[in-house]
Amino acid sequence: MTSTSFENYFHVIRDIIGAMHSLTDLQDVLDVVVAKLTQGLKAKGALLRILNKETNRFEVRAAAGLGERYLNKGPVTTETILSTLPEPGEIYIITDIWNAPRVEYPQQTWDEGIRMLLDMPLAVEEQQITGLLRIYLTEQRELSKDEHDFLKTIAKQCACVIERVDLIQKQQSHFNHLATQVEKGSSLARMAAGIAHEINNPLAGILLYSSNMHKKVPKGSHLEEGLKIIIKETRRCKTIIQGLLDFAREQEPHRLPVNINNVINSAVGIVENEFHLRHVKIQKELAHDMAEALLDKHQIEQVLINLLLNALHAVDSRGLVTLRSAVDRDRRKVLAEIGDNGCGIPKEHLEKIFEPFFSTKANGTGLGLAVSYGIVKNHNGDIRVWSEPARGTRFMIEFPLATDASVPKERK
């Protein structure tokens, strides 16, 4: 290859890579790729197909020169594309226009003066093929090593930009889903507050009258048993209503510099009797050099108690629940972790556990984790979960370090 050709290919690669980094729309990038390739190889045209993962078909997305005539052609099945396609990084050369199974319109192709086709699969490393790039040439010729390297470079870069855009689209979709959930949660909170207040007063009346009647009826009678059930179920309803109110109430936390180890110890002290009765061991590994975070210790204690009780219900008798704390000074975060070796959470449930009213417990309200999530977020913190069925679950909470010296110190 002459220095002029080398210089020409260099400029084509530079222009294509520049477009990939400067353009934000995938279509604009693909249009640049096919146009520059056609120009650089002095080809009749170029065509680029991308795999539609929903239909599992390769659709025409960009074309230049002769390839533009194929823009209105329908998608091609995956089986047709992959049947004779080489491995990623290789080039499939077609010189027998009439008999090649990959040429869909041999007569039209021949009449256009095409005598050679180059097919290049688009894939990042060994991953699934995401597209196909086809070059139309008017003469048969041997490709030099430099031309091979040039085409492989373009194919690799093109595959990378397709993967990048696909990732961005997935992230955008996830963000839109979260935004929808936040809006639904906000609407639900307002509705829940109204419903809760309307129901709370009648429930209080039912509980009061049933409790008074229970004191007056004969012991061991059917009426006494019935009233016990009414009282029990009414109290359960009041618990659910209180959860609704807690979920709906966007209470601003009263934050002070707090050592989270103290909050962990306080939460453990409240629930340790239940753990003792169930023969479940609590193991603490708390950092000795713990820094302070700006926390409403009562609200964070509520979060920790909820996570501890969830862990208790997830493990069998004589199970293990671990509590750890740490300071990430590089990220300026205080970390608290609650883990267990219990039943774990199925993968399909992990994305839903912080949604209100989602619960896998028979008698669960599905509000505990939703309220906990809201409390942590109100502290500018974050809560994440990792779980594997039959192996256990781990919740990680993190808060920013306390850096405002003007805030009063925690009252011991």
List the domain boundaries for the chain. 3-172, 174-248, 256-400
The 3 state secondary structure assigned to the chain is CCHHHHHHHHHHHHHHHHHHHHCCCHHHHHHHHHHHHHHHCCCCEEEEEEEECCCCEEEEEEEEEHHHHHCCCCCEEHHHHHCCCCCCCCCEEECCCCCCCCCCCHHHHHHCCCCEEEEEEECCCCCCCCEEEEEEECCCCCCCHHHHHHHHHHHHHHHHHHHHHHHHHHHHHHHHHHHHHHHHHHHHHHHHHHHHHHHHHHHHHHHHHHHHHHHHCCCCCHHHHHHHHHHHHHHHHHHHHHHHHHHHCCCCCCCEEEEHHHHHHHHHHHHHHHHHHCCCEEEEECCCCCCEEEECHHHHHHHHHHHHHHHHHHCCCCCEEEEEEEEECCCCEEEEEEEECCCCCCHHHHCCCCCCCCCCCCCCCCCHHHHHHHHHHHCCCEEEEEEECCCEEEEEEEEEECCCCCCCCCCC
What's the pLDDT score for residue 395? 94
Rounded distance, CA 264 to CA 255, Å? 16
Tell me the backbone φ, ψ of residue 48, rounded to 5 degrees: -130, 125
Spelled out in words, what is the top-level CATH class assigned to the domain 3-172?
alpha beta
pLDDT at 286: 94
Please state, in angstroms and as integers, the Cα–Cα distance from residue 215 to each residue in 33, 218, 234, 282, 295, following that order.
Answer: 85, 8, 17, 41, 45
- Tell me if domain 3-172 and domain 256-400 are identical in fold: no
Q: What's the CATH code, domain 174-248?
A: 1.10.287
Q: Is residue 172 exposed (0-12), middle (13-18) or buried (19+ Cβ within 10 Å)?
A: exposed
- Alpha-carbon 7 to chain mean position: 44
Query: Which pLDDT score, from 0 to 100, does residue 77 have?
Result: 64
pLDDT for 287:
93
Low pLDDT (below 70) residues in the chain? 1-10, 12-13, 16-25, 67-89, 125-127, 165-198, 239-252, 356-368, 404-412
Confidence (pLDDT) at 3: 44
pLDDT of res. 299: 86
Question: CATH code for 256-400?
Answer: 3.30.565.10
pLDDT given for residue 292 in this prediction = 92
